[in-house]
């Protein structure tokens, strides 16, 4: 598994650069684009809808070329009607299509929440699994670059709290491909949350990636002193912190990438904590009522007698995300912050 070199901390926080390698590298966004293309070739029922996804190729270029390849019947530029086209996609999936919709920023999920909460998540249950909803909702998030309070939020916990929805968050190009193809082939609704500051990172992605198992976390760095759990962009910062801790303090942190938020792979985390006896969860989302809260609760239950320190979270404070760089640069966890919080846990 490739490791990502970090630029020195800039005004906006750490960046992730590409691996120095001479193998052909695919970007995270390119892996997503290629996966959608392959799945659309494989299954004529897969269709793409969203604002500017067709002619515009998507505001982040992720769907570039799809309309040229598959035509305007299968790649639809919708009006700015999230409520309407999300409901439309749910209805279309019940009637036999396999839609992939794009919600441009996860902050806009409020516009279409009923279609996900009360329709997509509930119709399979209410119909006794006769009506299926094979829908993928692609969306993206990412704080750190002054997009402001309404364009920077992490809302995965809001969606993960809804039974009937799966929530997937890849941190690497390979996982983006593997998890997206699994999500498209899944017969239930999946929210696929991309990170926009990961779109440019590159890795070698095989052209025939095996669909991943949704709901399976991965240990990305083995260790024995403490378990560091994270996902999406923060996973890379956690890895960098683990490297720093090994160099500076001889602390061997085990890093786990959750990859899927719901269903949560607590078993992988619990098995790790049984060996390390300490856990820190790091995420970009605000601390209260988040993924960290869920993991800490479950690990406290499952591993109570094996813990040498209280299970902890490191996350953003319970506030709106500021746009001013002077304020935002201090808002999210950074590598040094993760390293010192982890060390504190080890010194407990």
Partner 1 sequence: MNAETDRLPLLRDMYRMMLLIREFETSVQHRFRDGEIPGFVHVSIGQEACAVGAVSSLQPGDYVLTTHRGHGHAIAKGIDIKAMVREIYGLSSGVNGGRGGSMHISDASRGLLGANGIVGANLALGVGAAWATKLLREERVTMVFFGDGAVQQGLFHESMNLAAVMRIPIVFFCENNGYAEFSAHSTQTVGSSLEERARTYGVDALNVDGTDVEAVHKASERAIGTSRSQGVPTLIEARTYRASGHYEGDPQKYRSNEPADLKTSMDPIALARSRLVELGDQEDELAATERAARGEVSAVFEDVLGESRGARS
Among 56, 65, 84, 211, binds partner 1 (CB under 8 A): 84
Task: Choose the stretch contacting partner 1; rule: CB under 8 A; options: 118-126, 239-247, 301-309, 329-337.
Answer: 118-126
Answer yes or no whether residue 130 interacts with partner 1 by CB under 8 A: yes
Q: Choose between 89 and 212: whose C-beta lies nearer to partner 1.
A: 89
Return the half-sphere exposure (C-beta side, CA atoms, 13 A cut-off) of residue 97: 17
Is the sign of the CA dihedral 332, 338, 340, 343 positive or negative? positive
Answer yes or no whether residue 127 interacts with partner 1 by CB under 8 A: yes
Q: Choose between 66 and 235: whose C-beta lies nearer to partner 1.
A: 66
Neighbours of 200 (CB within 10 A): 15
Peptide linkage before 43 cis (omega within 30 of 0) = no
Among 76, 137, 253, 315, binds partner 1 (CB under 8 A): 76
What SS3 state is found at 282?
Answer: strand
Among 22, 73, 208, 247, binds partner 1 (CB under 8 A): 73
Answer yes or no whether residue 246 interacts with partner 1 by CB under 8 A: no
Answer yes or no whether residue 85 interacts with partner 1 by CB under 8 A: yes
Query: Annotated catalytic, 37?
Result: no
Among 88, 246, 309, 341, binds partner 1 (CB under 8 A): 88
Least distance (Å) between residue 85 CB and partner 1: 7
Q: Choose between 126 and 297: whose C-beta lies nearer to partner 1.
A: 126
- Is residue 141 within a helix (H) or strand (E), and if so which, with residue range? strand 136-141
Among 78, 139, 276, 342, binds partner 1 (CB under 8 A): 78
Give CA–CA dist 167/191, Å, rounded: 5
Among 26, 93, 152, 183, binds partner 1 (CB under 8 A): 93
Answer yes or no whether residue 100 interacts with partner 1 by CB under 8 A: no
Which DSSP state fits 119? I
Return the half-sphere exposure (C-beta side, CA atoms, 13 A cut-off) of residue 150: 3
Give, in degrees to the nearest 5, the angle at Cα 231 between 150 and 306: 125
Of 168, 146, 148, 147, nearest in space to 156 by CA: 168
Task: Choose the stretch contacting partner 1; rule: CB under 8 A; options: 73-81, 102-110, 258-266, 322-330.
Answer: 73-81
Give CA–CA dist 238/232, Å, rounded: 10
Which DSSP state fits 339? H
Binding site for partner 1 (CB under 8 A): 45, 47, 73-74, 76, 78-79, 81, 83-97, 114-115, 118-119, 122-123, 125-128, 130-131
């Amino acid at each position: 598994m490739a490791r990502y070199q970090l630029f020195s901390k800039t005004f906006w926080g750490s960046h992730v650069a590409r691996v120095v390698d001479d193998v052909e590298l695919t970007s995270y966004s390119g892996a997503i684009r290629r996966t959608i293309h392959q799945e659309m070739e494989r299954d004529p029922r897969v269709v793409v809808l969203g604002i500017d996804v067709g002619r515009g190729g998507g505001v982040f270029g992720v769907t570039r070329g799809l309309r040229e390849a598959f035509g305007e019947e299968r790649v639809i530029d919708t009006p700015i009607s999230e409520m309407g086209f999300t409901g439309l996609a749910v209805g279309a999936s019940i009637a036999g299509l396999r839609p992939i919709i794009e919600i441009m920023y996860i902050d806009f999920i409020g516009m279409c929440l009923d279609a996900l909460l009360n329709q997509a998540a509930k119709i399979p249950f209410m119909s006794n699994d006769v009506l299926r909803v094979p829908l993928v909702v692609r969306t993206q998030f990412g704080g750190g670059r002054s997009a402001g309070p309404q364009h920077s939020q992490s809302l995965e916990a809001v969606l993960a709290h809804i039974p009937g929805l799966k929530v997937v968050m890849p941190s690497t190009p390979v996982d983006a491909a593997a998890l997206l193809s699994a999500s498209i082939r899944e017969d239930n609704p999946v929210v696929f949350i991309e990170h926009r500051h990961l779109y440019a990172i590159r890795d070698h992605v095989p052209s025939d990636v095996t669909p991943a198992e949704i709901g399976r976390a991965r240990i990305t760095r083995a260790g024995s002193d403490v378990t560091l759990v994270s996902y999406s962009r923060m996973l890379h910062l956690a890895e960098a912190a683990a490297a720093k801790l090994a160099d500076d303090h001889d602390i061997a942190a085990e890093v786990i990438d959750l990859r899927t938020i719901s269903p949560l792979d607590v078993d992988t985390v619990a098995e790790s904590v049984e060996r390390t006896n300490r856990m820190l969860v790091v995420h970009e989302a605000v601390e209260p009522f988040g993924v960290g809260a869920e993991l800490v609760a479950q690990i406290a239950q499952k591993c109570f007698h094996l813990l040498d320190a209280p299970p902890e979270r490191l996350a953003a404070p319970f506030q709106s995300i500021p746009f001013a760089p002077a304020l935002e640069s201090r808002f999210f966890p950074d590598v040094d912050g993760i390293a010192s919080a982890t060390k504190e846990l080890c010194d407990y």
